[in-house]
Structures are given as structure tokens and as C-alpha cells.
Amino acid sequence: MPETTLSPDAQQWIYTVLVWVGFGTLAGLLAAVLFPLRRPAGPFWAVVLGICGSAVGLLGLQRLFPERQFNPISPLGFLAAVVGALVLLMLVRLIAAMFGKAEKDAE
């Protein structure tokens, strides 16, 4: 079987994706523990929430401090990822409460 080698750009891209997935998973699980949903959504959604929260948190940091570069591996980046995941969790709970109330009013 021939050995496959990836270009340095592909290796960097894969590394970046794995970092975002890894730290997003940790951030999502921590956010789910700190601010649980009324009905648990499962570990898959905690991972998705954490990855999206990482993006939201780091984007928020980038907007606040445009002269600096932030990385999810740093402690500040991880904290921003957890805060971003918490913000998304609050939005999910708010939307669920709004639609849940609308469904109860329709009955």
C-alpha cells in the first residue's frame, strides 16, 4: 500500500479543525454543565454547541480587541469559547421557551 503524504497546508488545515473540535467539545460540555437545558439534548449537541460557541466567543474577542490574534488553545480563548457556548445555550433556552409557550397557548 503506498504511503500518502499531505501538503503542509493540508496538515495545518487538519490541525486547525481538530483543535476547534477538541476545544469546542470541552467548551460545550462545560457550558452544558454550568447551564443545563431543561431537556438534555445529548453529547452530540453539546459538541456542536461548543464548536459554535468557540466561534462566537473568539469572534467577540476579535471584535473587542482587533489588534490581537486569539487562539482557542490559550486560556483566554477557552474562556471565550465557554462564554460563547453559554450565550448560545441561553439563546436556545429563550427560543425554546418562546415556542413552548406558543404551543401551550394554542391548546
pLDDT at 106: 46
Q: Give 8-44 pLDDT, tens digit per residue.
A: 888 888 888 888 788 888 888 888 788 776 666 677 8
Q: How many CA atoms lie within 13 A of 30 on its CB side?
A: 19
The number of distinct structural domains making up the chain is 1
In a domain, 98, yes or no: yes
> Which residue from 78, 96, 84 is spatially nearest to 40, judged by alpha carbons?
96
In a domain, 1, yes or no: no
**Residue whose grid cell is 457556548:** 85
> Which residues, 6+ apart, have CB-to-CB distance to 63 below 8 Å?
none
In a domain, 3, yes or no: no
- The range of the structural domain enclosing residue 57 comes to 41-107
The pTM score is: 0.73
Determine the Cα–Cα distance for residues 22 and 80; give it in Å rounded to an integer: 15
